Amino acid sequence: MKACLLRSPAAIETNPLAFADVKTPEPGKGEVLVRVRVCGVCRTDLHVIEGELPPRKSPVIPGHQVVGVVEKRGENARRFAIGARIGIAWLHRTDGVCEYCRSGAENLCDNPEFTGYTVDGGYAEYIVAPEDFVYAIPQGFPDEQAAPLLCAGIIGFRSLRMSGIKPGGRLGFYGFGAAAHVAIQVARHWNVEVSASTRDARHQKLALDLGAAWAGGTFDEPPKKLDAAIVFAPAGEIVPAALKALKKGGVLVLGGIHMSPIPSFNYDLLYHERMIRSVANNTRQDGEDFLRVAAEIPIRTHVQMFPVREANRALNALKNDAIPGAAVLRVSE
């Protein structure tokens, strides 16, 4: 099969992904072989490719927002029929036995596997995954619309939950890429007022088009104090600015898997019971709950399509904030 292969982490400007022939995987016990139709391009992919996340598998095929059809079932795999359309997300597998899995916090599993990082991902014609960790895609979503829901959407949804935001509350987004442009649709569905702080004028416009009450630069203070805020951009220097925008008792959620160093700041910014929380991965329940809400709204993602062989170009565009919404790779029809 054809796949985009990362042999060694490198700056995306060097176009490190090689479009190459690799062996088609075989599904093991409880696994399905999926023919990939599309795969979303995520900033986490960029962190893997550039080595900001320590290499765990080499070579590796990136990609963890996969939409495809079941081509073959491994032993005891019966959940999905051949030809069923399914989605594969970041959380590839957990051990099921550690204290976190037993308590329902499988996103914190001690021995997890991650799609496109510790196991091969979806920048390829085929992928295998445990059937218990894949999702049925709601019928109303075309493939390319569904792909960004599988990480940007799920993580944005978990971030909203972690923020504790209530209907009628005021919520700030810092960075307005793939995750934020989905999360704002959920927030508006919940009757939450949203402010968007982002450096790119195109992203500010998208935020306003999607219902933001205000949009400004990354370090511009929103016109009203916020009940909660979510930092989607992987830039630690945003944290003090976001804390400054919070009301007393406000919650700041850090929604990324990687962030540059957070600078020191005065205790006054944290005082009055403000709180900082990080989001780590997601549970399968997050995914199921989010896809149900996404279908109810229904969410519409803004996507820019690229052929899979042009994954390097898509990732370069992502790094340079040239993607309004989400980038998606077309792998097959």
Superfamily name with CATH number, domain 2-149+301-330: Medium-chain alcohol dehydrogenases, catalytic domain (3.90.180.10)
| pLDDT-based confidence at residue 230 (cuts at 50, 70, 90) | very high
Band of pLDDT at residue 304, cut at 50, 70 and 90: very high
Alpha-helical regions (H) of the chain: 43-49, 99-102, 143-146, 152-163, 178-189, 201-209, 238-244, 284-296, 311-319
Is 153-278 in the same CATH topology as 2-149+301-330?
A: no
Q: Give per-residue pLDDT as tens, 88-115.
A: 999 999 999 999 999 999 999 999 999 9
Q: Can you spell out the DSSP letters for 157-191?
A: HHHHHHHT--TT-EEEEES-SHHHHHHHHHHHHTT
Domain ranges of the chain: 2-149+301-330, 153-278
What pLDDT, in 10s, does the model give residues 99-158? 999 999 999 999 999 999 999 999 999 999 999 999 999 999 999 999 999 999 999 999
The CATH fold of domain 153-278: Rossmann fold (3.40.50)
Tokens 């989905």, located at residue: 182
The overall pTM is greater than 0.75: yes
Q: Which residue has the tokens 């709601």?
A: 138
Q: What is the pLDDT of residues 236-279, one digit of tens each?
A: 999 999 999 999 999 999 999 999 999 999 999 999 999 999 99
Residue 66 pLDDT level (bands cut at 50, 70, 90): very high
Ranges of beta strands (E only) in 191-302 are 193-197, 214-216, 226-231, 246-254, 275-278
